[in-house]
Amino acid sequence: MKKSTSFLLLFLLMCSVPSCRPKEIPPTKGTVAKERETPAKLQKNNPKTYKGSAAGKLLWPTGIPPVQYQFNRTIEETTETYVRELTDPKYQGRSGGSEGNCKAANWLAEQFEQAGLLKLPSLNSWNQNYPTTVTSVLPGEAFLIAPGGTETKLVLGKEWIFRASPEEIDITVSLSTDPMLYSEGNAIWDASENLRSSTGKLSLTVGEVSDGINYTNASGNPSRIIVTENIYEQLKQEGYRIHLRLPDAIDEHGTASNVIGYLPGKDSSKAVVLGANFDGSGQCGSLLMPGAYNNASGVATLIQTATWLAKSTELPCDVIFAAFNTEDHKANGSSSFSDHLTAQYEQIRMINLKCIGWKEKQLTVYGASSEAPLRKSLAGGLGLPYVDKEMGGDELAFRKDNMSSVTLFQDACLSDPEVSSVLNSTHDVAENLDFAMLDDIAKKLAAWVVERGDEPLVSYVVYW
């Protein structure tokens, strides 16, 4: 991906726009509590400093041996097949509520069935439907106006792009020539917050215009307009202006579907939930955000793990495979399924698969201190380090009295600009992924489920 140096300029609106002692927490009846590691225990683990967005956090070795279970067969399927299918344009970027998203859900149900999974008895269907609200953004328009008044329409995704707007905007603006009104280091949000004022300012960035439109920011303040260097050079000329028509962000109320598969195990009072969200950033006009890393990578690993486990006769507990929907919209797919599942098991351990498989980047297990037993068991079993750090998203839906959850993740998704800049963009393509890494982790994850899936949750100690 070509890196571009972006800098910020501002232009004016030309018209008005509308005590430290431990306390034991006993488990309540019918629930299982969790263990939190003590500071003294942590200091003995000889951690390495973790460099990246987890500033102040540590990358911990576990001291727990990797899984020993070996499958006595091979499978022909590969994660690459699944990623390339999910990123096909026919699925329209899999944005929640879209036609492409529904097609992807149907395809996933077919894959679960072909892998040998069963329908969850409490659903008796591959789908779990739930009400949701999805926010989406329609394509905007931009016109370059010459001094004589001639308007030339700019091509979205080739000459300009915008970051999602919370309201409809129709303005004509020109670059400001007053250096007091802009500087290269100004914050975008500061420049945009007074947009509805007749003296307000809007930000203009020269940079990459094919990144796509960020749907997840649709309900926030207007962010910025991005144009190519060529368009910027024209706007600098006296008399040139730009006419912008930015559409409103639309809230659509409807029904979405999680896709759920299931394998019965020896102990039906316990379950391991393997989950990954399959929705993506979608498509705006001709701009397709394929969502390979975020999160076809996690879904492909989920299907591959299911394929391994469906051929096993040694499952220690029930295993549930959940392809969650609308994670980009307050994660209500995982919340809905967690609510459905709560009363069905005495113990549930959930592993979330999110943004994994980027070439030459470290896989880690993320989890809060309260998830210490699961975090260390999974990291040690897979031969990975863990990060003592809370993750948002689908993992949080499985933080209840009888549940524990962690996320398999790559910190580069947050800390490395080469990776983070690709999220929700047209550049999130399959070529960025190491499919051998995904195939390997799927097999190891399946072996972990067979060998350690029924490990108990244990009591924990709270410090304050």
Instruction: For residue 98, give the DSSP letter.
Output: S
| Per-residue pLDDT, 276 | 98
**Of 232, 247, 262, which residue sits at a domain end?**
247
Helices (H), 342-464: 372-382, 412-415, 417-420, 435-452
Low-confidence ranges of the chain (pLDDT < 50): 1-57, 178-201, 214-222, 459-464
Q: What per-residue string of b and e applies to 97-111 under the rule 16 or more CB within 10 Å gives b?
A: bbebbbebbebbbeb
Residues 378 and 313 in one domain: yes
Q: pLDDT of 287-311, one tens digit each?
A: 899 999 999 999 999 999 999 999 8
Q: What are 372's two structure tokens?
A: 């210490």
Kindly report the three-state secondary structure assignment for every residue of 254-302: EEEEEEEEEECCCEEEEEEEEEEECCCCEEECCEEECCHHHHHHHHHHH
Domain contains 334 = yes
Domain contains 23 = no
**Of 247, 270, 298, which residue sits at a domain end?**
247
Instruction: Show the beta-strand stretches assigned E in 313-456.
Output: 317-324, 347-353, 364-367, 386-388, 403-409
Domain contains 2 = no
Q: pLDDT of 357-400, one tens digit each?
A: 999 999 999 988 888 899 999 999 999 999 888 887 899 999 88
Q: Which CATH number characterizes residue 358's domain?
A: 3.40.630.10
Tokens 């072909």 correspond to: 114
Rounded CA separation 357/409 (Å): 9
Residue 48's alpha-carbon distances to 61, 279, 362, 416, in angstroms, are 8, 35, 14, 19
Instruction: For residue 65, give the DSSP letter.
Output: P
Residues 403 and 281 in one domain: yes
Domain contains 108 = yes
Residues 180 and 283 in one domain: no
Residues 293 and 375 in one domain: yes
**Of 220, 247, 274, which residue sits at a domain end?**
247
Residues 50 and 108 in one domain: yes
Q: What are 39's two structure tokens?
A: 């500071």
Residues 290 and 240 in one domain: no
Domain contains 39 = yes
Domain contains 24 = no
Closest of 196, 240, 245, 242 to residue 221, by C-alpha:
196
| Per-residue pLDDT, 10 | 37
Closest of 420, 411, 267, 424 to residue 345, by C-alpha:
267
Element (H, E) at 102: helix 99-115
CB 298 within 8 A of CB 436: no
Residues 321 and 357 in one domain: yes
CB 196 within 8 A of CB 17: yes
Residues 109 and 143 in one domain: no
Beta partners for residue 270, in sequence order? 347
Closest of 114, 144, 362, 312 to residue 232, by C-alpha:
144
* Range(s) of the domain holding residue 454: 31-135+252-462
Rounded CA separation 124/129 (Å): 12
CB 436 within 8 A of CB 394: no
Residues 281 and 382 in one domain: yes
Residues 219 and 131 in one domain: no
Rounded CA separation 296/128 (Å): 20
Residues 12 and 62 in one domain: no
Burial class (CB in 10 A: 0-12, 13-18, 19+), 255: exposed
Q: What are 1's two structure tokens?
A: 């991906």
Q: pLDDT of 432-451, one tens digit each?
A: 999 999 999 999 999 999 99
Residues 193 and 329 in one domain: no
What percentage of residues in the chain have a pLDDT greater than 70? 73
Rounded CA separation 85/376 (Å): 33
Domain contains 356 = yes
Report the number of distinct structural domains present in the chain: 2
